[in-house]
Amino acid sequence: MTRRDFLITSAALSAATLLPGSLFAETTKKENSERFPRQLEPVMEGDVKTFRLFIDIHQQELVPGVRIHTLAFNNQVPGPEIRVNRGDKVKVYFKNKTELNHTIHWHGMHVPWRMDGVPYITQMPVMSGQEFVYEFVAEPYGTHFYHCHWGTLLHMQSGMYGSLIVEDPDDPIKKRFPYEREYTLLYSAHDLNFLRNELNAMLERMKERLYLVRNGRFDKERFAVFDSKEELEGAVRKGYQPPYVVSRRAPAELAQPFWFTVNGKSYPSTPNLYIREGESIRVRLINSGTEEHSLHLHGHDFWLVCDDGLPLPQPWQMNTMRLSPGKTLDIIIEGKNRGIWTFHDHDTRRVTNNGLYPGGNLMALVYEDLPEEERRVMPMKGMNNLIPKVALDE
Ligand SMILES: [Cu+2]
């Protein structure tokens, strides 16, 4: 496929997704609602809310036709949303179905330190086939997230992240800005070559490991697989260095992302934010990737209401916010200017797919009560409605 062909294809894809007529169709809205994290229902054990997370290899479609192998919690990228109330007792059963080590870190949460998910510091890594149970009380209030803390650079951009929302029945934000609808957005950035190399290397190690096990020559230390903390400690006493301090390759190959996603999808598959005139919506933004995003909304000044989950003493208005890696921000958008508006990274390298614009984390704020006569955009001879408004606006 030539670059020109690809451009034409991607323009056609964009048009198909953003064809103004279809933007307002019930089927489009239903499909769109599936582009947000799915909530994981708790199972009660006495007064404890329990959740089950597993990690396995998964195929994720970034845009139609582009599929990548990832790691994913419960076969979803992002992982399912865990939503609890302040003070809830929470228990998460975590099962590792892969050949890699993992942990879960509860980002922004005040958990007991043994539950913090940092391998070899607060717990042993959860090794292949093992289960670990995380227990904590849900504090503090706000938008938080969870992610793997083993081989974080690879595992996070492979999809091991999910939202963790701690609600308060007496929500301070809802009091000041009454809203009915809210949306969770998890941002990430992916170097597909890095992912492919690393996952291939993992498969190679699996093959080698199986071969060595069969031949009775398997070396636990080389593969960093121990049955217990005591066994690892014994190895360390004899001079073993855990993988933290052993470089696997030289020179280092650091990831250079060229795909940018919101909720595991790139434009034109990114979610739309639907709103109505006079309505306020709450948007929870989580940067679970490695890049800093400068997120800009057209046609509106939104309210920044929470920073890292903490309600701001004095919310303020802006139209561009900086979402650094690891940060969460909550905003309120007031429906005051009917239309179809772009919401995107103003570091425009991140609104591309493999270097081609439009793509990446480009999204739209869509007024679902836009009058019929305004729904046609850019009529052009022979190409009625085929040019996406979003792409032209940017
Ligand atoms: Cu992991």
Q: How far is it, in rounded angstroms, from Cα 136 to Cα 114?
A: 10
Please identify, in words, the CATH class of the domain defined by 3-191+258-393.
mainly beta
Residue 160: HSE in the Cβ half-sphere, 13 Å Cα cutoff = 29
Instruction: Give me the percent of the chain exceeding a pLDDT of 70.
Output: 87
Q: Are 50 and 91 within 8 A, CB to CB?
A: yes
Task: Please give the average per-residue pLDDT across 362-375, as a whole number.
Answer: 91
Output the pTM of the full model. 0.85
> Ligand 1 centre from 295 Cα, in Å?
28
> Ligand 1 centre from 244 Cα, in Å?
14
Q: What is the pLDDT of residue 390?
A: 46
Q: What is the pLDDT of residue 251?
A: 53
**pLDDT tens-place string over residues 86-127:** 999 999 999 999 988 899 999 999 999 999 999 989 999 998
> Ligand 1 centre from 164 Cα, in Å?
17
> Ligand 1 centre from 197 Cα, in Å?
16
pLDDT band at 11 (very low <50, low <70, confident <90, very high): very low
pLDDT band at 153 (very low <50, low <70, confident <90, very high): confident
Contact residues for 391 (Cβ-Cβ < 8 A; gap 6+): 11, 14, 18, 357, 358, 362
Closest to 353 measured CA to CA, from 282, 274, 287, 270: 270
Among 68-72, 182-186, 331-335, which is the least confidently predicted range?
A: 68-72
Paired tokens of 191? 């170097």
Residue listed under structure tokens 């250079």: 256
**pLDDT tens-place string over residues 241-293:** 866 555 555 456 788 999 999 999 999 999 999 999 999 999 999 999 999 99
> Ligand 1 centre from 80 Cα, in Å?
16
> Ligand 1 centre from 160 Cα, in Å?
7
> Ligand 1 centre from 346 Cα, in Å?
30
- Residue 273, CA distances (Å) to 6, 115, 280, 341, 363 in order: 27, 35, 12, 10, 8
> Ligand 1 centre from 143 Cα, in Å?
22
Paired tokens of 134? 């995380």
Q: How far is it, in rounded angstroms, from Cα 276 to Cα 259?
A: 31
Closest to 11 measured CA to CA, from 394, 392, 393: 392
> Ligand 1 centre from 90 Cα, in Å?
21
Task: Please give the average per-residue pLDDT across 335-362, as a whole number.
Answer: 95
Q: How many CB atoms lie within 10 A of CB 274?
A: 22
Q: Over 70: is that where the pLDDT of 18 sits? A: no
Contact residues for 90 (Cβ-Cβ < 8 A; gap 6+): 48, 49, 50, 51, 82, 84, 134, 135, 136, 137, 138
Ion ligand 1: residues, Cβ under 5 Å: 102, 148, 150, 155
Sheet of 310-318, strand order: 259-262, 181-190, 280-287, 328-334, 302-307, 310-318
Q: What is the pLDDT of residue 21?
A: 56
Q: How many CB atoms lie within 10 A of CB 234?
A: 12
**pLDDT tens-place string over residues 25-34:** 899 999 999 9
